[in-house]
Structure 1
Amino acid sequence: MELTERGYNADREAITLIAGTDDPHATIEAVVEHVPADTLCITSDHIRATIESDPSVSTGSDRSRNTPNREGSPVETKGSEKSDTEREESGSTPGSEPTSGPASTSEPESSPQPKSESQPEPRADPDTSDRPASVDRQSLEVANDMTGHSTGTGEYADFVRTFRDRYERLSKILRGRVNHRPASAIAEMPGGSDAAMIGLVNDVRSTRSGHWLVELEDTTGTFPALIMKDKGIADVVDEILLDECIAVDGTLADDAGILFADAVHFPDVPRTFQPSYADRHVQAALISDVHVGSQEFMRDAWESFADWLHTEDASAVEYLLLAGDMVEGVGVYPDQDEELDIVDIYEQYERFSEHLKSVPGDLEIVMIPGNHDAVRLAEPQPAFDEELRDLMSAHDSRIVSNPAAVTVEGVSVLMYHGVSLDEVIAELPADKASYDDPHKAMYHLLKKRHVAPQFGGHTRVAPEERDHLVIEDVPEVFHTGHVHKLGWGKYHNVLAVNSGCWQEQTDFQKSVNIDPDCGFAPILDLDTLDMTVRKFA
């Protein structure tokens, strides 16, 4: 940057203000002339003082926090401090249809959404001068960004290492619950013995008598467990997915060839889990699936959201966590080109970056990729390459891998785009997982302590030395997108949020019966883990 070449450092907000002027180069020249000779770091105060004293420096349109909301101002919806049980008792269900049930307090005010954004009006970088001076208190860490650390070559041995790592880490969670033995040791035990085994699910099939045979595999071999249809544990059989790690305990048959199961254990989140909280009042906006480049991208709704972030009502929002699908992409589904407003993938990211500039410059922004983004489809997905990072450099966003464990002000947020939700919803009964209640499908991922437990289905998994998809540490918040549905609720004190989308229904979505929840922004209080959903469309 020019300031660095002149021997100066600059804080984040100062850079944002410089970029928002009509001629950043002229602004830098003016700033250098105005600052004291002993200045080492250019601050936002220096920039503002220069703008006020030098008429040659123009900042374009004023979009400060005190600007009144335009038509399309957000409608606040209910929070999610209640558990699912409490919601059912009170007659409200998280994730229910937001425009017809109690999730909306009134019909939103909105102007018709344009079908094309090919000639957007120029939008200057925002003035953040009246945001509270709490930026120096912001705290954000990413624990497991695997970008640049991919080890997979596609060899058979890579897959073996991935599943061995999955078994070792998840079995550690289960070992405190059962007195397990390896498959090879169980095979040597006498008939009638009590036994327990921890393993990856190799097969699940029903018998002629209506019972279920579950074959488990560990590092020593395989062993079958029989779950009788009249056992109380029979109702969990339809929750078991191939390749997940579970424990089964029971009694060996007289010939010791099979284990009659008395209990099935999932790694799960402990019911005693106590979340951590931020030590001050601060909020994070959780969004996903913006889909810039689609003819159905909701530009007006996005601008309403950006405008709201500049109001006093949003003064506590200091973080923006975006869970994938920033752009619509190219060639993602059949005949997608017919629904594109921008057909070049790089132009899509350039346009997305322009839209991102309309949010306050002092927001800490974290983004992970999704299945529409220009990264590999197999999970874990490394973050974007340098060329795309340069295109999305607005506000110095943190761009990390999918999934990512992000700690914000002491609150752990597991961000995962959510492709495996399709698989969970397809495999589990409708009363346990559905698109109408996406957070309930998320509960099962928490229960399995893995964001994509089943291999070889809809979700593509890349072999790595370490299984980056294991949920080793319990998060306070689990944030996903992908399914374009709004839903949230608490599971063992973990807040699960699927944040909807910013794309109206496409022809392709109509063909597969996807009715999206559009233009919502869940706003999370990091000091209480309460949540309010705001509607901008």
Structure 2
Amino acid sequence: MPLETPSRIVQELARHGYNAEREAVTLIAGAANPSSALVRAVEHAEDDAFRITAADVRAVLDADRAADAPTTPSPTETSSDGGTATPDPPISTAKPTEDGASKQIRSPGETTGDGGGRDVTRSPKPVDIAGDITGQSTGTGEYADFVKVFKDRYERLSSHLRGRVNHRPAEAIQRMSGGSDTAMVGLVNDIRSTASGHWLVELEDTTGTFPCLVMKDRDFASAVDELLMDECIAVEGTLADDSGIMFVDSIYFPDVPRTHEPNTADRHVQAALISDVHVGSQEFMADAWNNFTDWLHTEEAHAVEYLLVAGDMVEGVGVYPNQDEELDIIDIYEQYERFSEYLKQVPGDVEIVMIPGNHDAVRLAEPQPGFDETLRDIMDVHDARITGNPSTVTVEGVNVLMYHGVSLDEVIAELPEEKASYDDPHKAMYQLLKKRHVAPQYGGHLRLAPEKKDYLVIDDVPDIFHTGHVHKLGWGKYHNVLAVNSGCWQSQTDFQKSVNIDPDAGYAPIVDLDTLDMTVRKFA
């Protein structure tokens, strides 16, 4: 098989049962006779090796040079698209966008005139990862641990608010004279309506609690509809005559500054954002996945150098009632082994980063650490980077906050439909950005692991916010942050029918990291 591109080399290695280090692929592609170099590198590898290393390739190339062996390049195999042809899927239509966050939806058969091909000389910048809980968990579940994590949440989120109001601690406000102007920063401890239809919001800081009354006729009263328990806000207002309550004049959220200027790459390079692959389910869409990975090998995808997977690589076992009736693979390790085989279809020069989700074999409580060594070994394809949920991944200078998204269920359940819905999951993501926390509400279906540090706080504003979980496609920009929920690769299950979930399956959002524009590709 003539080999003139890294994608063809990776395909040929996969046919032999190997994956390879990126440098190994580059060395083979640059050899005088790539076909011969590949075969001899495979022969040189250890019998039980799973991956061809750069050392394997150098060994055979050095032997060639030492013997001064003549080499002849293989004839070039011509191809109209530089890769495997994909079947024509149904033509898709453009989905409404917000704030210029996307260009359009394309089917894989549609071309853009970009030309080019997968460049063997390119070298993606190293991926940096921050906020990874893996190996850092110290929580024991004792009461003191919960106190620590909420105190840390308060201190870090209040730092975004203290410069905007002249705040006082709760205990100091309790000693102030009636009629005084004051302000407080605190976590929402309680929300209830009065008999007159006003809102009573109780805030808590490290010194105590204080009640704040939002009158229903104030122009900002609708902000109460956006409040979730345990989130951090600031209020300004005036104390009642008896100093027992504050009449609120304004409400502030930690929020993303409207002046936020996102980072962009200094060259044209793209990242594919996907989630919820669910290998092991009878409804896993293998054909759509094959269309996607085939497209990644074409010249049209030459700029796609990163694949970011936001959790639920496999279907898991025992995640929901009667799930076993919908499983194609009933052993969790076999599910990951099958996922690894599908991952081998991705070009070897694509950098892969993955976080776990609620269907994966890690603890359900967030933050979730990355996979254990057994599963990491199974999924050790193309040197994939595995990190915790959530994590901030920096690619080409662009900060991508990756979070699987279990908290989106509670945000959508608690807030008005116009603020958050399954049809527009990115709007629920806007709320998390506004609150600067990926899972602000504690005590519902979301499990929280108490740690010394609250890993779910959004300290630094990301350039891209990538989630999954809800199996719906949605994207838009919030204060210049691109929010993307990337859909799934699983058609509707019986369980999803029972809870009225109609998934958006077989889509791959492709982000231009140099502009943060986005194209959604449809492969189903």
Q: Which runs of 5+ in 1 are unaligned?
A: 1-9, 41-48, 54-60, 88-93, 95-101, 110-128
CA shift in 2, pair 1:278/1:76, >3 Å: farther
- The answer on whether the counterparts of 2:90 and 2:107 sit within 8 Å (CA) in structure 1 is no
* Residues in 1 aligned to 2:257 and 2:381: alpha-carbon distance in whole angstroms: 40
Map 1:162-201 to 2 at 5 A.
162-201=149-188
**1:55-454 equivalence runs, <5 A:** 66-72=82-88, 78=94, 82-83=98-99, 131-454=118-441
Residues in 2 aligned to 1:507 and 1:316: alpha-carbon distance in whole angstroms: 38
Q: Which amino acid aligns with 2:428?
A: A
Query: What is the CA-CA distance between 1:139 and the residue it aligns to?
Result: 3.4
Shift of residue 164, structure 1, vs aligned partner: 0.3
**Counterparts in 2 of 1:63 and 1:351: CA distance versus 1, 3 Å:** farther
User: Whole-Å Cα distance in 2 between the matches of residues 310 and 510 of structure 1?
Assistant: 35
- Offset of residue 35 of structure 1: 2.0
Shift of 1:339: 0.1
Letter in 2 for 1:26: E
Q: Distance in 2 between matches of 1:382 and 1:32?
A: 36
Instruction: Say whether the 8 Å CA contact 1:184–1:221 is kept in structure 2.
Output: yes
Offset, 1:14: 1.2
In the TM superposition, what is the alpha-carbon distance from 1:143 to its structure 2 partner?
Answer: 1.3
Amino acid at match of 2:155: E
Residue in 1 that maps onto 2:5: none
C-alpha distance in 1 between matches for 2:27 and 2:483: 36
Shift of 1:133: 3.4
Looking at structure 2, the residues matched to 64 and 247 of structure 1 have their Cα atoms a distance apart, in angstroms, of 60
CA distance in 2, matches of 1:103, 1:186: 53
Asked if 1:26 corresponds to 2:36, the answer is no
Unaligned runs of 5+ residues in structure 2 are 1-19, 29-34, 47-55, 111-115
Contact 2:41 2:60 (8 Å CA) reproduced: no
Q: Does 1:14 align with 2:24?
A: yes
Q: CA deviation at 1:365?
A: 0.5
- Checking the alignment, whether the CA contact within 8 Å between 1:79 and 1:530 is kept in structure 2 is no
Worse-superposed segment, 29-38 or 284-293: 29-38
Deviation at 1:39, TM superposition (A): 9.1
Q: Are the counterparts in 1 of residues 26 and 121 from structure 2 also a CA contact under 8 Å?
A: no
Contact 2:104 2:519 in 1 (8 A): no
Mapped to 2, the partners of 1:457 and 1:33 lie a distance apart of: 57
Q: Which moved more, 1:453-462 or 1:31-40?
A: 31-40
1:63·1:307 contact (CA, 8 Å) conserved in 2? no
Matches of 2:375 and 2:457 in 1, distance apart? Answer: 28
Match of 2:448 among 436, 439, 461: 461
Distance 1:36 1:191, change over 3 A: same
Letter in 1 for 2:352: I
CA contact (8 A) 1:249 1:262 kept: yes
**Secondary structure in structure 2 of the residue aligned to 1:405:** strand
Return the alpha-carbon distance in structure 2 between the equivalents of residues 348 and 62 of structure 1. 37
Which residue of structure 2 lines up, in the alignment, with residue 90 of structure 1? none
- Distance change >3 Å, CA 50–CA 477, structure 1 → 2: farther
Q: Residue 321 and residue 184 in structure 1: after superposition, are their counterparts in 2 closer, same or farther (change >3 A)?
A: same
Task: Output the CA distance in 2 between the equivalents of 1:432 and 1:206.
Answer: 20
The secondary structure found in structure 2 opposite 1:177 is coil
**1:99 aligned partner:** none
Change (3 A) 1:108 1:36: closer
Of the three residues 529, 533, 537, the one matched with 2:516 is: 529
